[in-house]
Amino acid sequence: MRKQTFTLIEILVSVTIIAILAGMLIGGLNYASKRADTAKTQGQLEELQMALDAFKHDNGYYPPCANATDVQFTLVSNVFSLQLGSATFSFEKRGGKPYLEMQLNSTPVTLLDAWEHAIHYRCPGVHNPQGYDLWSDGPTTSTDDDLTNWKQN
């Protein structure tokens, strides 16, 4: 009786099929990861927008910042503050509860998106002159993939 063994062609075909399936799986995971990063950053922007709108509701104005700056938060003497350039705004409601829940210490914390880029703020906004501009640079520094609170063309 002769032993049944695999031929070289059968082994190469099997390895090729496995490689194609692995490539499809890795591509799908990469796509899902990119979508998750975008969704996380959009969620951060929406959460910050709600906090800024609540600030305006309580104070009658958005925190002014004529030049685009990174959004930073700090906790000093148990007061939660929004730091925009050299200006600091108490970011707590009159009842003492913060507009935005964050884990903080006394050093300023720059709000970062999913790609470790700073989230930017400008008020009055160039794109929203009656309000503010809030944006993330997205995965790259090109303006094509920015996530913003205004419509892009």
The reply to whether 90 falls in a domain is yes
Tens of pLDDT, residue by residue over 3-47, are: 778 888 989 999 999 999 998 888 888 888 888 988 999 998 898
What's the CATH number where 35 sits? Answer: 3.30.700.10
- What does the pLDDT read at residue 77? 66
Q: CA–CA separation, 72 vs 7, rounded Å?
A: 64
Instruction: Tell me the residue ranges of DSSP E strands in the chain.
Output: 65-70, 72-76, 79-84, 87-90, 109-110, 119-123, 133-136, 147-148
The reply to whether 3 falls in a domain is no
The reply to whether 65 falls in a domain is yes
The reply to whether 120 falls in a domain is yes
Tens of pLDDT, residue by residue over 49-103, are: 988 998 899 889 999 887 878 888 777 666 778 888 888 888 888 777 777 777 7
Question: Considering the entire predicted model, what is its pTM?
Answer: 0.74
Between the alpha carbon of residue 83 and those of residues 33, 34, 65, 127, the distances in Å are: 31, 30, 10, 22
The reply to whether 19 falls in a domain is yes
Give the domain range for residue 27: 10-148
The reply to whether 5 falls in a domain is no
The reply to whether 153 falls in a domain is no
